[in-house]
Amino acid sequence: AAGARGPVAAALTTVAGERAAHADALVDELVRLRGDQAPTAEPSETESSATPDGSPQRRPPTVADVVAALRESADSASDLAARMSGYRAGLLGSIAAACTAAYRVALATPGRTS
């Protein structure tokens, strides 16, 4: 997140590593499910690091942006876990729990209750 320093920067680095591990686990499950390589996609224009016309890039996300994205991911994973069974339910439940812990504990603002 933009301008993060000290403990917040360390927490963001940890969260990024956890999210990368989640992505790897989801890709592994897709490969296992499909029996071949996971589908790939080109980054969308908003995901690209450079703009073709040279216009300024989007602003870096703030800690609040990261927290909002983690909340959304936790909610989505939790909803899907409730509809799945077995390994997939466990994987999604684990992702939901990790996202919730990240925004409620690792990136919590002192004095904030939710």
Indicate whether this model's pTM tops 0.75.
no
Distance from CA of residue 2 to its chain's centroid? 17
Provide the pLDDT for residue 92.
Answer: 97
Quickly list DSSP for 18-50. Answer: HHHHHHHHHHHHHHHHHTSPPP--PPPTTT-SS
> What are 72-94's pLDDT values in tens digits?
999 999 999 999 999 999 999 99
Provide the pLDDT for residue 50.
Answer: 57
Name the average pLDDT for the chain: 84
Provide the pLDDT for residue 91.
Answer: 96
Give me the mean pLDDT over the 42-53 stretch. Answer: 58
